[in-house]
Amino acid sequence: MKYDVVVVAAGKGIRAGLGYNKAFFVMENNKTVLENACKLFIEDEDCQKIVVVTSEEYISKVFDNDKVIVTEGGALRKDSVYNGLKKVDSEYVLIHDAARPNLNINALNKLKEVLAHKGNAILAHQAIDTVKVVEDGKIKETLDRKNIYLAETPQGFKTSLIKYCYEHCDDVEFTDDASLLESLGYDVYIVNDEYDNKKYTNREDFE
């Protein structure tokens, strides 16, 4: 299955408290969070192109690789993703957060397999804590955690479909790419991720 990947690295990362874009934090292996997030895609022969989306001031700081092209992000995450999608040519596309540098090859391969057969699929992990719905500081409902999954990236789609959805999302509110498709009535399948694919967000994640 041939695919391109859009890696979103345009956020300010305010909660990280670094004073700069967290995607360019240098990890213990002397590579940035961004480069580590792209590592498996660089090594995967199925990956044809890596589109890194970042702000104008960081474009020159993106690492060099033959697979990598860089484009400028937008005001919102959805604008950045759409800018990246405009550079995608393959039949399938993965959308990945640059702040997830620990993607596991087994998880990636499982995602690709489901994506090839189902058309739309995301990595997610099952909730291990009891989940409460709260209103006005009071518990309204306790959800069955067997049915609760926490979404991750990469999220994979047929390129033609995700581009169509982004072209028709002006009145749609969504927090990730899968929820955009859900809101427009398309099925998205879950691939259970058993590995540590944590998103680096807060200061303690970088200490």
**pLDDT at 155 > cutoff 90:** yes
Residues linked to residue 54 through DSSP beta bridges, in sequence order? 9, 72
Q: What is the pLDDT of residues 54-104, one digit of tens each?
A: 999 999 999 999 999 999 999 889 999 999 999 999 999 999 999 999 999
- Residues near 15 by Cβ (< 8 Å), separated by ≥ 6? 201, 202, 203
**pLDDT at 122 > cutoff 90:** yes
Looking at residue 31, its pLDDT comes to 96
**Which architecture characterizes domain 3-206 according to CATH?**
Alpha-Beta Complex (3.90)
Q: What is the pTM of this model?
A: 0.94
Least confident of 25-34, 78-87, 193-202: 193-202
Give dist(CA 127, CA 30) in Å, integer.
Answer: 33
Mean pLDDT of 28-57: 97
Helix (H) or strand (E) holding 54: strand 47-54
When pLDDT is cut at 50, 70 and 90, the band that residue 180 belongs to is very high
Tell how far CA 167 is from the center of its chain. Answer: 19
